[in-house]
Structure 1
């Protein structure tokens, strides 16, 4: 009587490993691109919701509210850092006196680029944005990503997603 042996031969194992390695090599770049797309989409939505929160807070409490990245209690232009929302009753763009932090968003992936054409977004007590229209741009992994997203903030204080596909974060 011949006994059957159960198991794999070395050749079968090597072929299986070669096929698996090939499939992984093909799939990993796709997962990297998917991760960049999801990260950009998620973070731009968080930023847009934070801007809406700031506007609602200004209207609800009848007070000026500022959205900006903070360094040493002052607004800075480093939008890739934490983004703060605070009541701004004293000197503009500075957390001082009776100013109160409402919300803190971030930090973001250090490889990502976030640019805005102003240092801060200020909402007046009636919900209107101080200053001119602005576009906040979020680019994952580079300044010229095909997965870049943008938010346009108009003077009425409303924030909407940009429909443009050629967003450049180098500006």
Structure 2
């Protein structure tokens, strides 16, 4: 009675497993990129929600100010005139996600009612795009803050 595997059988099994893993690897890369984009969009959404709730709680204007280079370089949530005065949260920049949109370098402030202040545009929009986003893919996230202060993230097609 023969029990066990021969070395040849083991090598063939390992070769088949390597081929299957090679086919699965690209989908893992895409999954990791999508999760990274979602996480980073949620980080900014969390800071905006903090600013809005603190503005209502404290009864003062709270601002989310991007670092030099826009939100991709990081930001801080603060009361007062700048980040040095009354810092509530500081966030470092993003490394592997492209950010874009008209408001990438604009600060956003909320008044004591939780409404955006000093904003001429109807909506405050920032887009988060993964590195391998091909035209037609629905992988881009757009963070939108309405004039009322309501913020949401939506999926969009890649440019």
TM band (smaller chain): 0.7 to 0.9
Give TM-score scaled by structure 1 length: 0.76
Equivalent pairs counted in the alignment come to: 152
2:91 to 102, 105, 121: 105
Post-superposition shift, 1:10? 3.0
Post-superposition shift, 1:128? 1.6
For residues 132 and 91 of structure 2, what CA distance do their matches in structure 1 show? Answer: 21
Give TM-score scaled by structure 2 length: 0.81
Post-superposition shift, 1:143? 6.6
Cross-structure match for 1:73: none
Residue 109 of structure 2 aligns to a residue whose secondary structure is strand
In structure 2, relative to structure 1, the CA distance for the partners of 1:80 and 1:142 (3 Å cut) is farther
Task: Check whether the contact 1:79–1:115 (CA below 8 A) recurs between aligned residues.
Answer: no
**Higher-Rg member (1/2):** 1
Cross-structure match for 1:95: 83
For residues 27 and 81 of structure 1, what CA distance do their matches in structure 2 show? Answer: 33
> Where in structure 1 are there 5+ consecutive unaligned residues?
71-75
Say whether residues 1:135 and 2:121 are aligned partners.
no
Post-superposition shift, 1:152? 0.9
> Where in structure 2 are there 5+ consecutive unaligned residues?
none
1:25-64 pair list within 5 angstroms: 25-64=22-61
For residues 34 and 126 of structure 1, what CA distance do their matches in structure 2 show? Answer: 39
For residues 136 and 82 of structure 1, what CA distance do their matches in structure 2 show? Answer: 13
Q: For each residue in 1:8-46, what CA deviation from the matched residue of structure 2 results, as whole angstroms up to 9, or x when unmatched?
A: 323212211210110110111111111122222222223
**Moved beyond 4 Å, runs of 4+:** 4-7, 142-145
Post-superposition shift, 1:135? 0.7
Cross-structure match for 1:81: 73
Residue 89 of structure 2 aligns to a residue whose secondary structure is strand
CA RMSD of aligned residues (A): 2.3
Residue 81 of structure 1 aligns to a residue whose secondary structure is strand
